[in-house]
Amino acid sequence: MIKRYSRKELVDIWSEENKYKIWLDVEISAAQAMEKLNLIPKGVSSLVKKRARINVKRIHAIEKNVKHDVIAFLSSLTEKAGIKARYLHQGMTSSDVLDTSFNIQLVQSGKILIKDIDSILQILKRQANKHKFTPCIGRSHGIHAEPITFGLKLASFYEEFKRNRRRLQSAIYEVSTCAISGAVGTFANINPKVESFVSKKLKLRPEPISTQIIPRDRHAYYFSILGIIAGSIERVATEIRHLQRTEVYELQEFFSKSQKGSSAMPHKKNPILSENLTGLSRMIRSYVTPALENIALWHERDISHSSVERNIGPDANITLDFALNRLADILKNIVIYPKKMHSNLNLTRGLVFSQEVMLELIKSGISREKAYRLVQKHSKTSFLKKIDLIDLIKKDKIISKHMSENKINSIFKHDKHFKNINFIFNRVFKK
């Protein structure tokens, strides 16, 4: 991923230096296990640990000749550690190192993404409680529906990111496996106890059955969850973009003192950060399909998945980390306009209370069909002629026979729509 959309913590995880460091940890751990089992001479692991140095340039130089990244890596270790380094990698295949290391990078990334989500949850909770009873219009199909509160919008986002946190924890668990089982997963040339030792040491679980590789359904699941989280980010971003439109303008992204909007139009304050998140979310979701297609590999292994993972591994995780942090910043500093929310709430002259009028008529003995027709007729007139719906309802002789004026007045109030806000909040934010 480009620097513009990257944070150092995730970039470091997917750096060449960290990758080779993990490879070294895997090889040393395996050597330690083999020493305990008297499969290789004592002291190999400690010698390699003491003398080995990660030299990315040297590894790449060797790889140019041998055309194999793991062999190049092992050769570079031998140059530093000496002849005893030949005991490394005994009975192992390249994928034992590559797959175990890749999973560690995913786990490392996933743990940071969990922290990112936690930050968003904290901000959403704080903002939701702040605007718990800030009235605004709820929209269905983009059309005014019935009153809600802005806090409810935020609480909905909070609950979704709670689910995302659980999903990501599950995905991290899914890829927390280790395979040190040899060329086709049969342990033909390596003791299964080596895998157990390495798994425990690296805080992973032994892969129950591998081929030459760890099955890619695990990774497909992980990247699918990243895609879902990206979808949640875009949901919030889309809401902000719509509510910042000039005609609506119920909120806006924070606009700093020296910030510029349009290069041509000085008056503009554009929701550029939310638009950016929309684009980044699309990119993250685009990585899901190749991850799914990696599941079906030839026989015990081919390398068609390798080039895919070299791209989507860093890009999906780095981009999602950036997007989550950007979203947190937007939500933390967002500017809310309660007066405009209230103004928009009243924009349709009481049409938002049509359902309650209809329900009261039904309760009074009028059929649902007739009640619907009556209210719909007055709603159309209210909208077209810009007359308050309450006035039309009060003048209707049929309705007046079934509802008193006091009853009609009680219907056209926002407060009754908020009577269960605390109930909903208690369900969402319960400990």
User: Which of the residues are catalytic?
Assistant: 141, 262
Closest listed residue to residue 175, CA positions, set 212, 201, 207, 213? 207
Buried b (16+ CB within 10 A) or exposed e, 12-51: ebbeeebbbebbbbbbbbbbbbbbeeebbeeebbebbeee
> Cβ neighbours of residue 69 under 8 Å, at least 6 residues apart?
59, 63, 94
Report how far apart the first and last C-alpha atoms of the chain are (Å, whole number): 37
State how far the Cα of 57 lies from the Cα of 19, in Å rounded to an integer: 14
Return the structure tokens found at 403. Answer: 């509802």
Q: What are phi and psi of 154, to 5 degrees?
A: -65, -35
Question: How far is CA 386 from each of CA 250, 389, 390, 394, 396, rounded to the nearest angstrom?
Answer: 23, 9, 12, 16, 17
CB 85 within 8 A of CB 48: yes
SS3 336: strand
Return the structure tokens found at 119. Answer: 């930050």
State how far the Cα of 93 lies from the Cα of 184, in Å rounded to an integer: 9
How many CA atoms lie less than 13 Å away from 168 in the CB half-sphere? 28
Q: In which element (H, E) is residue 148 found?
A: strand 143-149
Q: Find the angle CA(117)-CA(123)-CA(128) to the nearest 5 degrees.
A: 120
Can you give the length of the chain in residues?
Answer: 431
Which residues in 210-259 belong to E strands, given as ranges? 251-252
How many CA atoms lie less than 13 Å away from 243 in the CB half-sphere? 25
| DSSP character at residue 136 | E
